[in-house]
């Protein structure tokens, strides 16, 4: 994957691997010296003869725990760095494709695929490297003490660390319960679920629900069967691998004579356990490889990171807009949410929008801002080269407060706004107390703010670099009447010469506007000034 394994990442991986090797070495040293000490103590030697061994056991025990801790830190640190980078690229790739709206099935697939990369690094690549180094060193050491024990250990390591993982890998890639077959069936189950959830109304209308349900349960049972079979296969392979160290230890104990026998046998047992997890990891490799392939393909579509975002400012000049017979029909929405609406918005006009809940007020603002699916009529007046969001925007009904700082919630990722500008926007929205606390986190959907503060934060976002047409959907909702009056007055002052279209329920607001339009069931029924 392009640039994923940078020299820095490789160096960190090697460091984590080195720590893991040291951990295993300390474990082997601990078992070796402890066994030697117990064997030696049986002869009841003077305590002084055991002093070095006692110190060594303590040192190995402390080292093992300490280094293991450092190894886990180092290993997860590098893997989480890689994952963060990979997620960003996969998301960018997904967005660049445009064929899958982020948030849907594709995104959840990407998330689990990225996690598979974590498995690849933490459970396969690192352990395999560590097992190779520790295994070779142990075979050399044990072989030097007793060549036959060295040969038995080498044989056992080959069986548990190479042969059985290879077998597990082959079984997982072939046969009726292969990783590919499981992935395919899982896709079918997901498809059934989506069909049932989104198509429920149609399925019921055509009497096809029972058949669709039966099909979905059959697929789900088939998936369960395949997964059980695959788990049985990998369980057998792992179980066989787990038996090997015990067999090796027994063989060494039988082959080797004298007091070295228990030491070598237990060392062989400890080393053997290092390779046992490889069988399970290898059995998952088919799945992991497929996941990595998908991620690689998606991340390849990501545009090169472009560095800091340039400042994207609102359109400079005044913009008169005119709506001609604008009709909005939401997909699956039934009747039109907006039905042939004409509205003239000369520059500087201040329009209040009133109407019952569900009448279409928010949809009207969305249509002006180019956010609604306009299926009939047109909006005239967008200047050549201007994006709709540069011309009209503000506080929308579905505005979201992000779990981030006040600053990020105001700029929404755009660079180039000075603290003084941010402070002025907060001041204008009546949230001046946060001007000096731009880096405070506001909580999930603004959960650490009061309802009124959250609303003011949204208003401040709208007043930071406001476009020529300022759209405000109930901007003072949640404020008490006196605060609402004050905030609206400062907001309108901040709006200056701009066009303002505001949805409100407050009778008291109306006198501040040039024109009041009433929306009823998707139509403009009355206008007054």
Our CB check for Mg ion shows the closer of 134 and 354 to be 354
Binding mask 391-430 for ligand ADP (x = CB under 6 A): ------x---------------------------------
Q: Which of 104, 325, 333, 451 binds ligand ADP (CB under 6 A)?
A: 333
DSSP state, residue 445: G
Beta-carbon-side half-sphere exposure of residue 307 (alpha carbons within 13 Å): 2
Our CB check for Mg ion shows the closer of 91 and 513 to be 513
Antiparallel, parallel or unpaired: β 321-328 and 515-520: unpaired
SS3 292: helix
Tokens (6 digits) for 71: 């190894």
Count the Cβ atoms, other than its own, within 10 Å of residue 200: 12
Burial of 496 (0-12, 13-18, 19+ CB in 10 A): exposed
Contact of residue 363 among Mg ion, ligand ADP, none (CB under 5-8 Å per partner type)? ligand ADP
Contact of residue 357 among Mg ion, ligand ADP, none (CB under 5-8 Å per partner type)? ligand ADP
Our CB check for ligand ADP shows the closer of 35 and 476 to be 476
Our CB check for ligand ADP shows the closer of 159 and 395 to be 395
Q: 3-state SS string over 45-75? A: CCHHHHHHHHHHHHHHHHHHHHHHHHHHHHH
Least distance in Å: CB of 75 to Mg ion? 50
Asked if 257 touches ligand ADP (CB under 6 A), the answer is no
Least distance in Å: CB of 273 to ligand ADP? 57
Query: Which among 177-185, 252-260, 358-366, 477-485 is the span making contact with ligand ADP, rule CB under 6 A?
Result: 358-366
Beta-carbon-side half-sphere exposure of residue 296 (alpha carbons within 13 Å): 12
Contact of residue 41 among Mg ion, ligand ADP, none (CB under 5-8 Å per partner type)? none
Asked if 363 touches ligand ADP (CB under 6 A), the answer is yes
Q: Which of 361, 371, 456, 498 binds ligand ADP (CB under 6 A)?
A: 361
Give the footprint of Mg ion on this chain (CB under 5 A). Answer: 362, 397
DSSP state, residue 303: P
Asked if 496 touches ligand ADP (CB under 6 A), the answer is no
Least distance in Å: CB of 478 to Mg ion? 14
The tokens 């077998």 sit on which residue?
A: 167
The tokens 């290993």 sit on which residue?
A: 75
Our CB check for ligand ADP shows the closer of 192 and 504 to be 504
Q: Which of 44, 112, 306, 357 binds ligand ADP (CB under 6 A)?
A: 357
Least distance in Å: CB of 520 to ligand ADP? 10
Asked if 362 touches ligand ADP (CB under 6 A), the answer is yes
Report d(CA 91, CA 210) in Å as an integer.
38
Burial of 519 (0-12, 13-18, 19+ CB in 10 A): buried
Our CB check for ligand ADP shows the closer of 353 and 431 to be 353
Q: Are 415 and 308 in contact (CB under 8 A)?
A: yes
Q: Which of 240, 296, 330, 506 binds ligand ADP (CB under 6 A)?
A: 330
Tokens (6 digits) for 486: 């004050």
Report d(CA 21, CA 131) in Å as an integer.
8
Least distance in Å: CB of 297 to ligand ADP? 32
Query: Which among 106-114, 360-368, 377-385, 427-435 is the span making contact with ligand ADP, rule CB under 6 A?
Result: 360-368
Sign for the CA dihedral angle at 204, 206, 210, 213 comes to negative
Asked if 471 touches ligand ADP (CB under 6 A), the answer is no
Query: Which among 157-165, 214-222, 301-309, 351-359 is the span making contact with ligand ADP, rule CB under 6 A?
Result: 351-359
Q: Are 475 and 395 in contact (CB under 8 A)?
A: yes
Q: 3-state SS string over 106-160? A: HHHHHHHHHHHHHHHHHHHHHHHHHHHHHHHHHHHHHHHHCHHHHHHHHHHHHHH
Q: Are 519 and 525 in contact (CB under 8 A)?
A: yes
DSSP state, residue 468: S
In the bound state, the residue with its beta carbon closest to Mg ion is 362
Query: Which among 186-194, 355-363, 494-502, 509-517 is the span making contact with ligand ADP, rule CB under 6 A?
Result: 355-363
Contact of residue 171 among ligand ADP, Mg ion, none (CB under 5-8 Å per partner type)? none
Binding site for ligand ADP (CB under 6 A): 330, 333, 337, 355, 357-363, 397
């Amino acid at each position: 994957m392009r640039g994923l394994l940078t020299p820095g990442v490789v160096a960190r991986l090697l460091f984590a691997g080195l720590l893991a090797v040291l951990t295993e070495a300390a474990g082997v040293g601990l078992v070796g010296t402890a066994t030697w000490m117990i064997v030696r103590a049986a002869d009841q030697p003077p305590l002084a003869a055991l002093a070095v061994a006692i110190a060594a056991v303590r040192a190995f025990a402390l080292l093992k725990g300490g280094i293991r801790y450092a190894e886990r830190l180092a290993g997860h640190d590098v893997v989480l760095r890689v994952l963060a980078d990979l997620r960003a690229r996969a998301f960018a790739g997904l967005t660049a494709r445009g064929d899958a709206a982020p948030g849907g099935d594709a995104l959840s697939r990407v998330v689990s695929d990225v996690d598979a990369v974590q498995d690849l690094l933490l459970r396969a690549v690192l352990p395999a490297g560590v097992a190779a180094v520790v295994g070779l060193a142990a075979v050399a050491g044990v072989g030097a003490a007793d060549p036959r024990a060295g040969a038995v250990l080498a044989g056992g390591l080959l069986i548990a660390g190479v042969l059985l993982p290879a077998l597990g890998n082959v079984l997982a890639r072939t046969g009726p319960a292969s990783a590919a077959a499981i992935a395919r069936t899982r896709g079918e189950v997901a498809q059934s679920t989506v069909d049932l959830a989104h198509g429920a109304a149609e399925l019921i209308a055509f009497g096809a629900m029972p058949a669709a349900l039966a099909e979905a349960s059959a697929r789900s049972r088939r998936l369960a069967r395949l997964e059980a079979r695959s788990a049985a296969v990998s369980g057998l392979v792992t179980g066989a691998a787990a038996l090997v160290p015990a067999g090796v230890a027994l063989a060494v104990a039988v082959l080797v004579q004298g007091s070295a026998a228990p030491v070598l046998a237990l060392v062989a047992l400890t080393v053997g356990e290092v390779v046992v997890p490889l069988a399970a990891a290898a059995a998952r490799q088919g799945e992991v490889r497929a996941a990595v392939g998908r991620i690689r393909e998606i991340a390849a579509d990501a545009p090169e990171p472009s560095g800091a975002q340039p400042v994207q400012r609102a359109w400079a000049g005044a913009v008169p807009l005119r709506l001609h017979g604008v009709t909005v029909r939401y997909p699956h929405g039934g009747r039109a949410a907006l039905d042939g609406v004409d509205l003239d918005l000369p520059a500087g006009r201040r329009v209040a929008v009133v109407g019952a809940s569900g009448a279409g007020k928010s949809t009207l603002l969305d249509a002006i801002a180019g956010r609604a699916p306009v299926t009939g009529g047109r909006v005239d007046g967008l200047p050549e080269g201007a994006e709709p969001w540069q011309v009209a925007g503000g506080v929308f009904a579905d505005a979201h407060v992000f779990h981030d700082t006040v600053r990020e919630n105001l700029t929404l990722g755009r660079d180039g706004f000075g603290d003084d500008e941010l402070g002025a926007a907060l001041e204008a929205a009546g949230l001046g107390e946060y001007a000096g606390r731009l880096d405070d986190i506001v909580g999930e959907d603004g959960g650490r703010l009061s309802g009124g503060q959250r609303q003011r934060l949204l208003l401040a976002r709208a007043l930071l670099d406001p476009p020529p047409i300022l759209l405000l959907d109930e901007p003072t909702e949640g404020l008490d009447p006196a605060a609402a009056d004050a905030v609206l007055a400062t907001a309108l002052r901040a709006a200056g010469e701009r066009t303002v279209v505001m949805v409100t329920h407050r009778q008291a607001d109306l006198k501040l506007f040039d024109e009041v339009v009433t929306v009823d069931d998707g139509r403009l029924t009355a206008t007054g000034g």
